[in-house]
Amino acid sequence: MSSIRHYIRDLRVIDGHEHLATRQMRERDRTDLFGLLHYLDSDMITAGMQRGSLSARGTDAEEKAAIFMKYWERTKNTAYAKVFRTAMEDLYGMRDWTVRGLLELNEKVIAASLDKDWYRKVMTERSRIDLAFTLIQTTNVDFAMFRPIMFMDFAFKLRTLKDVQAVEGASGVEANTLQQYLTAVDALLNKYIQEGMVATKLGHAYWRTLACGKPTFHEAETVFNRLAACSLEEGLSQAETRPLQDYLIHFIIQRSTAYGVPIQIHTGHHETSVSGNGNTITNSQVSSLLPLLNEYSSSRFVLLHCGYPYSLEYLSIAKNFPNVYTDFTWIYAISPTAAKHILHQMIEMVPQTKIHGFGGDYNFIEGTYGHLKLAKKIVGDVLTEKVEDGALDEDEAIGFAKAVFRNNLIDFYGLDEKPV
């Protein structure tokens, strides 16, 4: 059975979801160790650390290292911490988890941030990733390694006139009426696709419910006109703008479908360090999407993060809806145990062509490396158990790994990469 694990270890991957800054951005920012915490920062916050303690300007590295060690002792049991430790130890040789060791590690991280070959070393060589999708609100990425996905929340999270102006500026289309605004949003989608965008992303569960009504054009237009009459400093409440938001969500799905690009949607767990709504987890309930999934049967929806903790309804929806595709982005690092259980069930319930097996969902490549190492271990363990139980034979298990880590994404997103 070790052959399954060995095959997966060496398998080259298509990474379906990241937030990785470009190498040039990282070099410009001289990113240090404390800029690599991401999800670990969330755990430290919930363990009592003041938000922003490790990113505050004016705090020197030694003070940050002391803060880190205090909260490292409280959080080093979590999967986020394990991924971070794996990355630091494998890629930088970190062994001394003390203030002194952290300061030495910090210098190594800064040096790596200035290394023009670091992304290739970590992504291409060590992680064996041939292509990754990244969401950093720009299409200006290195296409040898990345493809952009664009958040569209800013196009429907309209609360002030400044929000409308942001879309006007990005699209180059003046929008004094709702119809003109729709033209601007459509122009923006077309622009992004021409620039290489492979999917749109709706992340609104972080700031409102996934549930979406079906307002009329007139109802949406009434809200837009009220917004247009406001001064730049005035605005409308979330409740007041809801009909406009819902109308625009429908429009973005419709136009994405017309352009042939899938729609990725955040479902389930929220990251504490960025959540803007007090982590109201019920906003992310997968079944709230059912009216949209029913209405847009010709659209292709990628529901991210396995819907955790709503994984059972997620599995049922994925099994029954031809237009729904599953995605294991982030889930291995949230809980390896949960990921393992979900994968066991998914193999039993969902056609394997509808399963996308990995997205690191990190904002630094070291996190992606550590997360993928964990993901490959979990998938290898699950497939080995399935073979031992007689649910799959060894060739079927290896074929499943090829599909979910690589071939499905090549086919689904129309990538110019070789399947295996």
pLDDT exceeds 90 at position 308: yes
Structure tokens at 108: 């190594």
At 278 the pLDDT is 65
pLDDT exceeds 90 at position 279: no
- pLDDT class of 393 with cuts at 50, 70, 90: very high
- pLDDT class of 16 with cuts at 50, 70, 90: very high
Residue that the structure tokens 């942001």 belong to: 166
Distance CA 220, CA 239 (A): 13
Distance CA 62, CA 107 (A): 12
Instruction: Judge whether 188 and 156 are in contact, CB under 8 Å.
Output: no
- pLDDT class of 277 with cuts at 50, 70, 90: low
pLDDT exceeds 60 at position 10: yes
- Among the residue ranges 166-175, 265-274, 403-412, the one predicted with the least confidence is 265-274
Q: Which domains does the chain have, with CATH numbers?
A: 38-113 (no CATH), 122-413 (3.20.20.140)
Express each pLDDT in 105-149 by its tens digit. Answer: 999 999 999 999 999 999 999 999 999 999 999 999 999 999 999
At 337 the pLDDT is 98
Neighbouring C-beta atoms of residue 95, cutoff 10 Å? 9
Q: 181 burial class (0-12, 13-18, 19+ CB within 10 angstroms)?
A: buried
Distance CA 132, CA 379 (A): 19
Distance CA 134, CA 151 (A): 10
Give the mean model confidence (pLDDT) for residues 42-60. Answer: 92
Distance CA 190, CA 199 (A): 12
At 17 the pLDDT is 98
Express each pLDDT in 328-381 by its tens digit. Answer: 999 999 999 999 999 999 999 999 999 999 999 999 999 999 999 999 999 999
The mean pLDDT value of the chain amounts to 96
Neighbouring C-beta atoms of residue 284, cutoff 10 Å? 27
Distance CA 136, CA 408 (A): 24
- pLDDT class of 1 with cuts at 50, 70, 90: low
Express each pLDDT in 145-185 by its tens digit. Answer: 999 999 999 999 999 999 999 999 999 999 999 999 999 99
Express each pLDDT in 75-108 by its tens digit. Answer: 999 999 999 999 999 999 999 999 999 999 999 9
